[in-house]
Structure 1
């Protein structure tokens, strides 16, 4: 490696961020977007790779809290802004930045790191496993109806200015976090990302719109969306682009989706990022006309295996010894005994006492199953988990499951 790694200084941010932009194609962001990311950047958690006076590599992380199965919200490093200049590829810069970053995460006492990947093949070698998926919906609302539950008509809907509705929206969102693994407890200022709406990125759609669902004068849900008008010789065929829908109960949820389906002069609802178990799939009259597609979303890395596995609960009793491989963070290598249930868990090293292992797997597989969205049985079927005690895969897979599918509501 020919570059020096150092903590990002405020005065270096512009060059550092320009290096990142170039690594992702070189298209400059809108000024308001760039200013937001500058405000959100935690310089003390950001790394620059410098070749003399030139920034040739970037990596950063945000301090978040991540919901895990059982309702706990744990301190997490959200890895972001990773890029290497094309002139400096294949010199070990990415590996060096990942090494320094994970060492820093460990020193901070954060047991878990997460990221979203521009290319899915990049981060497995650093111990990150695919832990959640996103559902993409494109619904033909001219041919699909909704069957809403009783009480839906009692929900009041009203338009609100997205920024002005921020406190109400954030209050609803905050109540939803603990109930779904993978959701992020938003820190102050992150609500600005949710309403970021540069005109140059609308692609012919309206400015962002917001509708609040209320009951007895209190917000119980919201929808953020935009409308893209379109016409042909047969008439209007606009698209409702859904950014987010959250609600505290089924009737408010149904009322919001019914509103989105019924917007005048539209015939399509496009929702590119929904949970894979989204209840809307059970409301529609014809799921075949909803064009369901899935893609990888959140990647998880256990930085401290013991602490991470103790931070969540397990939906069935489990008592299993895991033989963990982790070449990149060798402090995790070895045998761990995990014992837990729906009330809590312990995870302790058992290398010294000669306890036999029940399962052998890498930390990457543990990251994949951590939020309950990827069955251990699936990984075992792919040959990525070895069963050393008969029945251990099925028992452990059941325990690691989650009542709600993990979901990342927005990027970072």
Structure 2
């Protein structure tokens, strides 16, 4: 609500907010989306044709309540963030807000909070580690809810593990149990680092034993192996391997998807 949207501290925002012509979003916004999400697990980069389709959405011509609007934060002629929103009564609904700098993030949220005739701001599909609650002077007034946004099923375990990057260099032997895909059911020796990984079938004794359905959550980094173990979903066979796996599979940003599919 408007009376509770003050920031905890003053943010220096030297840039400016400008409205974006829908015909220009395919040119101005994709790079911002890419820069904001390139190291975020779970995000699919939008193909050019999707941006072109969005630029021709009929909501752009509607205007007023229900119409779709784009605003961007520019600094020195460079677009560092944008917001897509619509209004419903006295509520401004943020469909998407992407920012590549702290200044852009603060300026775009302030633009949404201070829009004339609006007394409430809502936002859909925000990440769990959104910085907004930490920006507010009274974050307890921010009402939050969570729901499923992305389901993952590892169809090819060794290939999936090799395509991932790891927070720290280590080696683990993982025993994966998979009743549906027999080629996944077995032991795999994973050696990973920030530069890349190798994974191969092995007969060595496992450090950890995990079901493939639980492995998918740990694979994206949304939950630690230690937490899964406490829930009875991971069996630690080698002392200390839970902590090592937590370190390897740690992520800078929580998994998230801003897209419906």
* TM-score, length-scaled by structure 1: 0.59
In structure 1, what is the equivalent of residue 196 of structure 2? 344
Matched, 1:184 2:44: yes
In structure 2, what is the equivalent of residue 298 of structure 1? 150
In the alignment, the residues of structure 2 paired with residue 193 and residue 379 of structure 1 have an alpha-carbon distance, to the nearest angstrom, of: 41
Q: CA deviation at 1:144?
A: 2.5
In structure 2, what is the equivalent of residue 364 of structure 1? 213
Kept after mapping to 1: 8 A contact 2:8/2:138: no
In the alignment, the residues of structure 1 paired with residue 219 and residue 22 of structure 2 have an alpha-carbon distance, to the nearest angstrom, of: 34
In the alignment, the residues of structure 2 paired with residue 149 and residue 166 of structure 1 have an alpha-carbon distance, to the nearest angstrom, of: 33
Kept after mapping to 1: 8 A contact 2:40/2:254: yes
Q: CA deviation at 1:248?
A: 1.6
Q: Which deviates more, 185-194 or 210-219?
A: 185-194
Pick closer, same or farther for the CA change 1:178–1:219 going to 2, 3 Å: same
In the alignment, the residues of structure 1 paired with residue 211 and residue 55 of structure 2 have an alpha-carbon distance, to the nearest angstrom, of: 39
Q: What is the RMSD computed on CA atoms of the aligned residues?
A: 2.0
In structure 1, what is the equivalent of residue 116 of structure 2? 264
How many matched pairs? 258
Kept after mapping to 2: 8 A contact 1:195/1:208: no
In structure 2, what is the equivalent of residue 151 of structure 1? 12
Q: CA deviation at 1:196?
A: 7.4
Q: CA deviation at 1:192?
A: 4.8
Kept after mapping to 1: 8 A contact 2:188/2:200: yes
In structure 1, what is the equivalent of residue 176 of structure 2? 324
In structure 2, what is the equivalent of residue 226 of structure 1? 86
In structure 1, what is the equivalent of residue 134 of structure 2? 282
3-state secondary structure, aligned to 2:4: coil
In the alignment, the residues of structure 2 paired with residue 241 and residue 208 of structure 1 have an alpha-carbon distance, to the nearest angstrom, of: 10
In the alignment, the residues of structure 2 paired with residue 372 and residue 348 of structure 1 have an alpha-carbon distance, to the nearest angstrom, of: 21
Q: CA deviation at 1:257?
A: 0.5
In structure 2, what is the equivalent of residue 390 of structure 1? 239
Q: CA deviation at 1:271?
A: 0.8
Instruction: Determine which structure has the larger strand proportion and give its number.
Output: 1
Kept after mapping to 1: 8 A contact 2:11/2:106: no
Identify the match of residue 2 of structure 2 among 141, 147, 154.
Answer: 141
- List per-residue Cα deviations over 1:88-109 (Å, max 9, x = no partner): xxxxxxxxxxxxxxxxxxxxxx
3-state secondary structure, aligned to 1:255: helix
Unaligned segments of structure 1, at least 5 residues: 1-139, 230-237
3-state secondary structure, aligned to 1:184: coil
Identify the match of residue 164 of structure 2 among 304, 307, 312.
Answer: 312
3-state secondary structure, aligned to 2:229: helix
